[in-house]
Every structure is written in structure tokens, then in C-alpha cells.
Structure 1
């Protein structure tokens, strides 16, 4: 591809990410909230803006919020800027401030700062092929995300009444596919004979459902690997969190911090996997369900066409 075409292509990708994903990393002071609920059991209420509601896992708290715990309940709150994590048990009342509660909890742990990435919701869309009945293909990852895997597996939902699927894989700096494969399964391991993915590179893959020689549905998905300068630190963070979870897989505070770390680095597939674990362990949380839905909506988007 000519240099100017490649430059235009990358500018379009950057524009898409900026407008739809709006990543990320806004500081707590910029968005108003100062704390997040990292664990909650039993009945806990918060009064915000004159309205009272139940607190759930992942609930964001704002300076001035009044929180009330009840007998038999427990609550862990992380203050984002200070990293202070406060634990409450039994009946109590406190007011949320910028860097801590007033009065302070009896048990306070000093931990690292917490970043709650700002992820803007995006309009879902699928590609309709002119003149053909539209079928739906949803991919199970590697779409509008980062990955640290050099040889990932491509997964998608089966489409009805199709004969096979074709996967075309591109580097966004090239016009022609790096490789393509056909399969009758709804997954394709990264081909063993192809070179692994390169750090700092953005890729596109197109899954096409074929019937009678025609493409009856397709989905274009983009993903990338972090650059070498970030990859070592990201992998270390992942390893550290996995070690903590191996010691106590039911620690919702650690897992939620891990999810926020993954979101901060746009590793949305991994974040969704841990959201699923939290949902199984804790049950449904409205606060986390809203964040999870944004990530699944982003996954459903097609890449732009040039």
C-alpha cells in the first residue's frame, strides 16, 4: 500500500477509536466520583442527590454521598486518588469525601491508586450485504480491543444454514490478506505455519459465512497488540493479579481491580472474561452490567471500510 493511503487508513482508525471508544483514563477529579465499591454483602444504602438506592458491586460513590450499612452487612470501598481501601462491617453511617470516609472506617488498607477508565457507549451495527438476506455473526473477541497473545484463536457465533466460513486476516498496513483459511467450525486457531503477531501492530480479520459459493454474512473486526515499550509492564501486571487471585479467587476487590487494570490497557476480552467470573461468584450487579454491556457493544462493531 502506498504511504499516503496507509497514513489515511491509520488516521481513520484513530478517529474511530477517539469518537466511539473514547479511551480512557480520566482521573476521578475530572468525572466527579471519588470511590468505587469493591465488595458488598447484605443491605447497604447510599443517598446521592437526594435519592436513596441500594449499593451494589462496582457502584461509584461521589463526595457528599451518605452511606449506611446495616447489621450483618459488610462493605469495602476504594478511594481512587489516594488508593485507600476502607472496610466496614455491621451497622454504620459515613459520608464519602475525596480521599476517604468521614468518620473513617475502623479498618483501612493503603493500596495503589485506582483508575476507572471512561468507556463511552457506542452504537451497535452489523454489515448488511446488498440483495441478500441478512444473517448475524457475532464474534467472541478480537474486535475493538487489545491483546497480548501472539497467536490468538478466532471465535464467532455459528450462523444458521451456512456451509462453511472463510477467515481473511490483514495487517492494516497492507491491501492484501496476510493469510486466509476456510473452516466448517465456529472457531479458527491461529495457523501454525504463519508468523506470530507483532507488538505495536494493528490487525483486521474478516469472518465470512458462505452458502452456495456466496457470502451471506460477514463481520469485520480490528484489534492490536500494545507496543514493546508497554508490553512488558502489562504482562507483569497481569501476572501479579493472577498470582493474587490464585491465592484467593473469591476476592472481589482484587478481581475488580484487575478488571479496571485490563480496561485501562484496553484488554477488553480479558476484562469481559473476569466480569463473567464476578457475575457467577457475586450475582448480577447493575453497576457492572452497564460497563459489561458497553464492552460487548464495542465488540459487535465492524471496522471502518476505506
Structure 2
């Protein structure tokens, strides 16, 4: 433990020790996604206070705790990962029923967000026991905060890891093409190139890549989806590390452009007046503007001109 974390432990006790930490509760603890300093004072205090620490990887968590100067015995560390989560949850519940405080930490970031923990939390709640959040680091919110990717409504979708199989991944990307909100994706280094090739189908839509967020070689870049494979290939280092990507919200098409697009399609099948009427109803674009555009598309003269004296604008 460095001297700085010794001071942090003291600060944690000063800031958080007077707060209430009920017994018989599961504490869901967010841990750093890379930078060890991204740990909250409450989390540090709770990890010292906890009777047991359930974790995705006991060796990883033991090393993390020791870096902060927190000592837990092997008996106090419980392995709860994706392969044993349902069974291990029962062991956690037994400790909680004994009045113990149990902290749960995945390897990095906030548990249960594309990490183990969701089934554990569900089992604890179903047992009628309390679950307490200890918020902190998250690659999802870290990527969103620097992407500038959300629309005016501030909405986004968390998609996490797309399917590993090529056909399923391409189908998922096809669905993303219809999603107008910002979308957060996660990916591992050995699959990032395959994901980039699939996302290239989204063309000019912008995507922000967050690589190795909070770490020494952190990199954040925004490129059109079509250029993502080339961006990765430009530097061998860019395929290394963990990735959080934000597909930007789809830009709203100007109403006039949408009206003209719909109008052009309808004119292929319908007379001018019918096409104009339907295009106006579908898009809300002004009917008179659509009528004038339709005449130009059809190569007809506007009403009132010498050759078009017999024409009339739509009602």
C-alpha cells in the first residue's frame, strides 16, 4: 500500500464511519475500471467493515484490497462468478441471515452491469434481505460522459456485448440501425475487429471508441462507423485493451428532406395530387411545397404559367 492510500483509508473512516451500515445486508460495491484512485471513500470504508467479500475472482480482489491496505483472510473471500453464481448465492444468503455484512465486487466497475452479480442480487432480494448500492466507477457512464453522443432527450440504450457469432452479430447491428438513441456497447480486444467490421455497415453514423478508459494508455476517438475498421488498423496498439463504444444518436432528418423522399417514392406509383396528399399526411411537410416539388420532379409547369394554365394546386 502506498502512503497515498493510507491517507485515503483515514479519510474514508473520517468521512464515512459515522454513517449507517445495516447488518445482514449485501453491499454491491463498484471498483475501479483501471485507475486504482477511482474508488469511493464509502467503498473503502465498507470493504474494511465487511465480514465477507464475495467477488468474481478472489485472487484479483485480494490483490485489490491489499493495494488499499485492507486485509481479509481467505475464509472471508467468497468466489461468486458466472459459473457458480446461483449456488454461491445461497452461501451469501446464509451469511446475511447470520447478520453479516457481505460486500460483492466484480473484477472491475459496477457489478451486474455486463458482469456477474445480477443473479446474486435477485436471490438476496427474493430471500427478503437488503441490498445496498455502493456506486462508483462504470465504463458505461465514463464512455457516455466524453462521447457527446446523446440527442436532446438525453436517452441512451445499453446493449453491452453483442453476440459472438457472426450472423447473430450482424443481425444485432441491423437492429441498431433502426435505433435512433445513443447505444453503449462493450467489447473485448480479441473481438473488437470483428465488431468493427459489422458496425461499418452503419456508414456515416458516428461512433466514439473508449479504449483502456482511466488507464495509462487511455484513448478516446470519434469516427464514422464506416471508418472504424481502418481506424483500428492504423495502429496495432488500438486493438489492445478493453473497449466501451458509444454509437451516437441518429441525426434527425430535416422534415423537408423526409417529405421529398416520401414524395419521390409515391410519385412512382401515384398521380401528382394523390402523391402530394399522402406525402403531406405521412411527413407533415407543407402541401404547397410538396406540390411544387412534385411538378418539378415530373417536369411539369407550375400553375399560372402559360403552358400550365389549366392546372390547379391541391386543395
TM-score per shorter chain, which class? under 0.3
Provide TM-score, normalisation by structure 2. 0.25
Q: Of Structure 1 and Structure 2, which has the larger fraction of its residues in strand?
A: 1
Provide TM-score, normalisation by structure 1. 0.25
**Which structure ranks higher in relative contact order (CA pairs < 8 Å, sequence separation ≥ 6)?**
1
Q: Of Structure 1 and Structure 2, which has the larger fraction of its residues in helix?
A: 2
